[in-house]
Structure formats: structure tokens, C-alpha cells
Amino acid sequence: MSETAQPPEAGRTRILGGDPVGLFGLGCMGMSEFYGAHDDARSTEVLHAAIDAGVTLLDTADMYGGGHNERLVGAVLRTRSAFVATKFGIRRDGERRWNDSSPGYLRTACDASLGRLGVDTIDLYYAHRLDGTTPVEDTVGALAELVQAGKVRHIGLSEVDAATLRRAHAVHPIAAVQSELSLWTRDVVTDGVLAAARELGTALVAYSPLGRGFLTGALRDRDGLAEDDFRFTNPRFTETNLAANLPLLGAIDQVVERHGASHAQIALAWVLAQGVDVIPIPGTRRLDHLRENLAAAAITLTDAEVAALDAAFAPDKVHGQRYPAATLPVTGPASTEQARA
């Protein structure tokens, strides 16, 4: 975070790498692609409004829009201060996409991101995905060199398993692990990633906390999706699975009535209830949705409400995988020896 950045209001913060950040970060991916047409002017307005409202963590990546997203965020950073997180590791060439977490590539990627963002130092630099070949120790070792060089302040990993997180942390402290976490995606809770992060003092940054829009209750069918909306390829949003998942929203309906809140606010309050080390980063391109999301900070769910929502959204009640099988995240080789074999 730059020297001119103002820390979030006391009592409404979470800690990331020793730095206070707002209760919510802002996921910027949709401002460049994946959810249909985008409007830079509107997105810029949302970015400024988020910072005005106390959001300090802006989350981007070099692959979002082929660098467009970093440039968009970078334009805002010319006059505003924020804690900026970006990522490397997913490479694209036309329609082809592959993972690359090699030391050589990450050094080049870091310099390119610094240029697009227009900053001297990246506050949090994630390995977006591991490639399954490069030992995580080598990846983190190279990232640690970037920290020593002053190009990166904190190191993060995205979509890794608990064992990989521990191996990485043994090389250099991992400030954050970013994984999908929402009412209908709780893998990090059940597979031990959240427990490992807590053991190591690593924050859990939760992406897609609104289930890619499903948990807002506004998406009842696919008719309103843009032709290039990536949800058309997501197993949970096939016509059959989407219809089968709709009854899950009934559990949120009951909590909405008690709190006088929206579905989105209850879904976000549930994520906040997972612990003070969990930082949700809902994304939006609309000012009204931004304000609605941030207002969830005022909602405290009871233990009984959290338990009821947990039961209603039990993994065996959710239809469809969270990603197509061919694009499920690679967590990396089980050991350094395997990777080098």
C-alpha cells in the first residue's frame, strides 16, 4: 500500500500480510471480460466509489482481458491509493490457455504487470495457477527474490491444496491464499486449506463469494446472459443444473426476511462469518451492486443461521461442478521429487 493510502476504519478491517485492509476487497475481473460487454467509464466509476467507501484491496490479474484489467486499475492508481493484488501463471495465445509457474516466466510477468499497473511495487503477487510441473518451492523461491528486489511486498497462491500451501510457506511466508468460497462452494473448508492457512497465519481471500451471481437470487435462468458469458460453459449453469439448484435459495429467503436484507448481503455475511482471516472479494461493474455488497458488513448472522445455511447448501445438494472438468485448477505435483522425475 502506498504511503498516501489511508488505512480502513478501525474495527472494519482484516489483516493481510500484516497490513489492514477493508472487510471486502473488490474483484475486478468482470470489468474486462467473462461476463459480457464491459464499459471502462462505468468500471472506473465503480473503482473510485469502492476506494471512497473504504475498499483498499483491488484484485486483478495479468490474464484478465489480456492485460486490459491491470491497465484499467493502473489508470485509477495514478490518482488514488490502494492495496493492489495481481497474479501471474495463466498464459493465453488466442483460444489456447495454459499454466506456467516457472521462475523464468514469473520474472518476466512481474515486470510486465508493474508496467501496466504503473507502480514500483506490487502489494500482493499471486501464483494464479501452478503448472503441475514446476515445484512450488522453485516458484516461491523466485517470488522471494522479487520481494528482496523490492518489486513485490507479499506473496500469495491461488487454488492450491493444504500440502502445497505448507510446502510453499516453508520457503517464504505466504500472506494469502485465494480460493473460491461461497455458500455453494466450500471445498477450502472441507479439504483442509482454510485450516492450514490458519495454522500458518495466512489470510484466505475468497473469490466468487456470490457464486458467480447465483446466490444473489437474481439469476433464475440463462435467458439474460450475454452470448459470451462464460457461465454458459460452467456445469452449475447448464439449464438442468441451474433449475435443480434454484430450490437452494429458499434457505436464504428465510434469513433475508429476518434481517431485512438482500440475498447477496446474506451470502456475503455468511462468508464474513467464516472467520476474521477470510476476506471476500465480490466483483461488480455496477454502483448499486457495490453499495449493496458493502452494506453486508452491517449484518451479523447468528450461529443458528450459519448452521442452517450450511445444512441447506451441503455439497451433496449442489448440482454440477464449479468448473468444467478440463479446467479444474492444477494444485501442483505432490512433491519436489515427483516434479523433477
| pLDDT at position 36 over 70 | no
List CB contacts of 298: < 8 A, sequence separation 6 or more.
none
pLDDT of the residue at 7: 45
Is residue 169 in some structural domain? yes
State which residues form the domain around 209: 16-340
- pLDDT at 211 exceeding the cut of 50: yes
How many structural domains does the chain have? Answer: 1
Distance between CA atoms of residues 297 and 292, nearest Å: 10
The grid cell for 10 is: 478501525
Cell numbers found for residue 317 = 445438494
86-95, 182-191, 201-210, 319-328: which range is least confident on average? 319-328
Q: How far is Cα 208 from Cα 204, in angstroms, rounded to an integer? A: 13
Calpha distance 151→125 (Å, rounded): 9
Q: Tell me, yes or no, whether 100 lies in a domain.
A: yes
CA–CA gap between residue 109 and residue 87 (Å, rounded): 9
Residues annotated as part of the active site: 64
- CA–CA separation, 330 and 199 (whole Å): 23
Average pLDDT over residues 217-225: 78
Q: Given the C-alpha cell 527474490, which residue does it identify?
A: 145
* Residue linked to cell 455439497: 315
Measured distance CA(299)–CA(133) in Å, rounded: 44
Cell of 306: 450459519
In contact, 260 and 65? CB cutoff 8 Å: no
Cell of residue 59, nine digits: 484484485
Write the pLDDT tens digit of every residue in 274-314.
Answer: 999 999 999 998 999 999 999 999 999 999 999 999 999 99
**SS3 state of residue 288:** helix
Cα separation, 109 vs 248, whole angstroms: 41
Q: Count H helices, E strands: the chain?
A: 13, 12
In a domain, 2, yes or no: no
Answer whether 165's CB lies under 8 Å from 177's CB.
Answer: yes
On whether the CB atoms of residues 67 and 29 are closer than 8 A, the answer is: no
Query: What residues pair up with 126 in beta bridges, in sequence order?
Result: 87, 156
Q: Does residue 6 sit within a domain?
A: no
Task: Tell me which residue of 45, 82, 39 sits closest to 60, measured CA to CA.
Answer: 82
Q: What are phi and psi of 245, to 5 degrees?
A: -85, -20
Q: Are 222 and 242 in contact (CB under 8 A)?
A: yes
Helical pair 103-117 and 136-148, crossing angle rounded to 10 deg: 40
Residue 8 is assigned to a structural domain of this protein: no
pLDDT in tens, 65-112: 889 999 999 999 999 999 999 999 999 887 788 999 999 999 999 999
In angstroms, rounded to a whole number, what is the distance separating the alpha carbons of residues 1 and 16? 11
Average pLDDT of the chain, as a whole number: 90
Q: Which residue has the higher pLDDT, 339 or 237?
A: 237
Q: Considering the domain boundaries, does residue 213 fall inside one?
A: yes
C-alpha cell at 296: 453486508
DSSP conformation letters of 29-56: GGGTSSSS---HHHHHHHHHHHHHTT--
C-alpha 254/C-alpha 160 separation (Å) is: 34
- Give the integer Cα–Cα distance in Å for 340 and 27: 35
Find the CATH number of the domain harbouring 83.
3.20.20.100
Report the share of the chain in percent with pLDDT over 90: 74
